[in-house]
Each structure stands twice: as C-alpha cells, then as structure tokens.
A and B are shown apart, each in its own frame.
Chain A
C-alpha cells in the first residue's frame, strides 16, 4: 500500500504583525511594523496509508488547523514537503467554502467543481447529494438563510459524494442530530472500505476513539505522539493536566493562604493518568501554608465535562485539632474507587477554613482524567448494566472502530 499522505520535516511559520501592515509604512524601513514569527508546526514527519483513518488531537493552538490547511493545499509549508495523493475533500462548514448569496444548488455545483468534478459529474450526483443532506425543500434558498445544521449537512454531503481519496473532517461531527451523525459514520465507513483515507480533527475524544484506531497528538506545533488511539488520548490528558498545574490554562489557581506544591494521581502500580472502573486510586496533594491556619478542611470534588457534580467528599470537623504555621507543609491523600462512566472528568481538591467559609485553596481547573466509556453507555455513573431480550444479551457491543 502506498502512502496517501506524507509529511517530511514539515514546518509552518506565520508572521504575526503587531499592527496591520500599511503600504506606506512598509516602504519606509524605519517605520516597519513589528513582525513576530509564530511557529504553527515544527518539523512534522508523518505517513498515512491509503484507507487509514487517523485522528488528530491537541489543545487549541497546537497546530491542528494549520495541519489540515496544508493537507488541503490551501497553504504551503515554510520548510519540508507535503505529499497528498488524489482528490482531497474537506468538509465545508458555516462560512467557509459556501457563497452566502448563492443558493444551495449553486453552491453544490461550485463546490463540486472546486473539489474536482466536472459540471456533468455534479449534475449526475446532484439528487443524491441533496437527498443525503435532507435539504430537498431548501435547495434553492440562498445559503445565508441556512442554519448551521443545514450548512453542515450540505457540506458533508458534497464532500462524501465527490469520491475523495482523502477526506478531511474538522470538528463538524458535533453538529446535527443523532440520526444524521449515524448516517455520517455509516458513510465514512463505506468510503473507508473503498480506500478513502480519513483525517479527523476533533476535541471530542469520544468521536476520535470511535472512528480512529490511530491518532496523533500535536502540542505546540510538534508531533508529540503518533500511535494507538488510547495511548494518544491518555497522553493528551496528561499534557492537559500539566498545563493546568502550571496555571497555563485559565490563569493562576485561586490561593488564599495555601499553595499546591505537588499533585499526583496514583494507581495500583504507581503514577497514572487513567482511572478505569473499579480500580482503587489515590490522589495525593502536598500543600504549603503561606500563613498560620487552624484545622483546615479538605474537599474532594469530581466534575463531569459539563460541570455536573459527579461526586463530592469533605473531611470531617470533629478530629484532633491541628495547627499549621507559615511555611509548614501537609500531605492530603484521597483514596477512592472510581465507578465513573465514560467522558472527561475534573478531579478537584480544595482547602477551606474549619468553618468552611474561607476558601484557602481552590484548584480552578483540576486534574483532567479521561475515562473510556463502555460502548452504548452514557452518563456519569457506571452501573455496569447488561440488557437481555428473551434471554439473549444485547449489550456485548462489537468494536465500532473503523
């Protein structure tokens, strides 16, 4: 099998101007606006075979969009070489690729032709494209009146009907109702069987895990990890937690008398980033007091991705009186057995005064942990259910990975 996508030593540097370039100022050498180089991708080597499906993950600004732009040929690398075999079809979404004044019909033609079909080819597939997008009654409406769901459906439909060799999917699977999403997954599987290479960029670990056996993790423009999807997702969450620790995410964590010195999540075999169901874990935090504190309380909270409280526990009051002076350190160890369902959870530890009124330490972002969901399940708790119909177990899900 030959490589459908090949990147050799690819770097992309943008030049960020401090202010908008002005013709006159650029001509005067002493008044040139400041230019800051910005490395969006650094020295990326990657090979994707024909028919492979690969997920691309990473934090905002990690270089995912630039990566897709290079594959689509919209931009060219600053160094290295990008090779893509055959017809590349990006999924078009709101505002990109569609001309707002033109009707859905006209946009289908233009985009079909831009993606490499002849006018006759588009005409031959037109009905199928519209039927798949479920837009029969709106196809002659200018797309500026479309909802984001309608845009997404039309964009997806055009992209998959041009028989792409490489399909680029950028986060759009999040839109659309469940029935349409299933239809999309089905179509992508069909394309894959016919040899289409699929690249999916998403922040939804669920979608990535479901569709891609292989994933790559981008971090600050570098290819951090390329490998098995579970391994890559775990590393992604590790990096997210590190970013949280260093206050890199949303500013410094709140601190009013207590500082976090060190924090680690321990599994039965030492430090871990995963909390599989039923395996005892310990969250160990070392605090330092920046002022004298009497008998502090330790709170442990687990939040779901949407902020739902999945679990909360607080240390009791009626224990031996403790007194910490300035500069003293204390270690809090929280032992627990997770029974969480799939998703991303935030493990938060906070410290309050003995009456619970003064917040001495609050972790704004917490430790992010991804729990692979049992297939077919949803929610925050894992009850390990099985469903039988006339005695036959119907919940032993087959592997859905593409």
Chain B
C-alpha cells in the first residue's frame, strides 16, 4: 500500500489571492473522474427508487410534447413549416433538458454543501453534475424524436449530424449559466426562486411551442433572437426538421452568450471557490 504515496507529493498552497484561471481549469480537469462518478451516482439515485427508472426521463417530455402537438396543431393551429408535431417535440425536449438542469444546477453548490465541508474539490464540479446526468435522458428523448420523424413525413438526412454540435451548444450554455447562478446562489438565496420564476416566463418568450416567424411577431424577431435559447431550439430544428428560418443569427448570438457566461463563470469560481464554504 505504501507505493500509493505520490513520489513527489503535491503541495497545496493557499493565499488570500484568488486562484489563477489556469489553476482552476487544471483542478477541474484533474477531478474529471470524480465529476463522472458524481454524475453517474446522481443519475442512479434519481431513478433508482422509481420502478420505471429512466423511462420517466423520456416519457415526461415526450408526453408533454404530444399534448402540445395536439393542443396547438388541432386547436390553436400554429402554422409551422415542416409540420407542427416534430417542430414542437424537438423544442420541448431541448427545453425540458434546459429547465430541468437549471433548476437543480443553479442551487447545486448550496445543496451539496455537506460534500465539500471537509474535503476540497472545485465547487464548479457541482453545477456540472445535473447537466451531465440529465444528458442521458435527453439523448434518449432526442433519439425517440428522431425515430418518430418519418411518421410526420420528415425524412432522415445528413442534417441529423447537426444534432451533435447542437447538443454541445445546449450543454455548454446550460453549464455556463448553472455555474454563474450557483455561485450567486451561495451569496443570495433568492436565486432559487428567481430561477423558478424566470423559467416560467422564459418558456413562453422562447419559440418552443410557437414558430418565431409568426406574422404577429415579425417586429420582434431581433428581440427573440437575443434570447440565447432561441439559437438552441433553432439549432435543434435545423438538425431534425431542417426548417429554422434565421437560425444563423440566433445561433451566433447563443454562442456569444455562452462565451460571455463561460468567462463570467471562470472569474466567479476562481475568485470565490474557496470562500463559498464560509457562507454555507
């Protein structure tokens, strides 16, 4: 067992100054095995007690999308090019991942305070955990939507490959936002309620269930595109139905948001990481 001692032990040096960006990134990279283990456990504990297990993660958004599809295509009659059902399904699946992850991720540092009370690891891992564990349910839901596409007269094509960068962007944006909010939440517990309230409104200002090219919205296209989630749902529609007018601009805006939030997250965590514990 003695051979497990590191030959040249790492020296932990703590000063009043914040960690450098490189240090934080190195620390996160060094703990990636822990991150994966935490995500795996999070996934398992979430669905272990339920008989149907992970099926719930898929069934709920698909059911929600089905309800939306019936309500809005038969009753309200939104005109969506490429068929309304696949349009709304892909939107709901992406939104469900985002909303579900944000609700948990934004409070992850406070909620898991006990884990970091005595042993240090970058707190930035905690808000990443729900994003990674929700990715499984999301991937299955997305696969179900893709499998159902021919049912709505949408063929499969090379454009399905776009779902990979779309998922990457969704993941990056969600994680960046969770990191920033989770850091804020340590100091301001209102964040938890703000997130819940914001998500309620956010879903309706995002073209999830309605197409953004509705004639009534023509004057607000710019505003709609400024919403980072517009780019995400556009990206996913580009990969599934292939129809997403003005997707280039909205996706570019989402990437800008992601980079901005990513920088904010990096700054917040390198400055406050070892001070979070004082507030918990």
Interface residues of A (CB under 8 A from B): 14, 20-24, 26, 69-70, 72-88, 90, 92, 95-99, 101-102, 106, 109-111, 113-115, 117-119, 121, 125, 162-163, 165, 168, 194
Contact = CB atoms under 8 A, between A and B. Distances in A.
Interface of B: 1-2, 4-6, 9-16, 33-34, 37-38, 41, 45, 112, 114-121, 187-191, 194, 274-275, 277-278
Given A76-B275, A92-B119, 10 more contacts: A74-B117, A74-B120, A82-B14, A85-B12, A87-B6, A97-B119, A102-B41, A106-B41, A111-B119, A117-B4
Nearest to A122: B37
A165 B14 CA distance: 17
Nearest to B45: A101
Contact of B274 (A74, A90, A113, A117): A74
B108 to A, nearest CB: 13
8 contacts: A23-B191, A73-B12, A73-B120, A74-B117, A84-B11, A92-B118, A113-B33, A125-B1
A125 B33 CA distance: 18
| Nearest 3 A/B pairs, CB to CB | A86-B9, A76-B274, A73-B120
B274 A194 contact: no
B120 A72 contact: yes
Contacts of A20: 189
Contacts of A98: 114
Nearest to B17: A76
Contact of A81 (B6, B14, B275, B277): B14
A185 to B, nearest CB: 19
A162 B119 CA distance: 13
Contact of A114 (B45, B119, B275, B277): B119
A72 B13 contact: no
Contacts of B188: 21-23, 26
A74 B277 contact: yes
Given A77-B16, A106-B41, A121-B4, A86 B114 contact: no
A289 B36 CA distance: 72
A110 B14 contact: no
A113 B119 CA distance: 11
Nearest to A8: B15
A194 B4 CA distance: 12
A153 to B, nearest CB: 16
A113 B187 contact: no
Contacts of A69: 277
A395 to B, nearest CB: 36
Contact of B37 (A87, A119, A168): A119
Given A22-B190, A23-B190, A86-B10, A72 B16 contact: no
Given A21-B187, A110-B38, A114-B34, A76 B118 contact: no
Given A21-B188, A86-B10, A110 B41 contact: yes
Contacts of A121: 4
B274 A75 contact: yes
Contacts of B191: 23
Given A20-B189, A73-B274, A96-B117, A81 B13 contact: yes
Contacts of A76: 14-16, 274-275
Nearest to A68: B118
Nearest to A120: B33
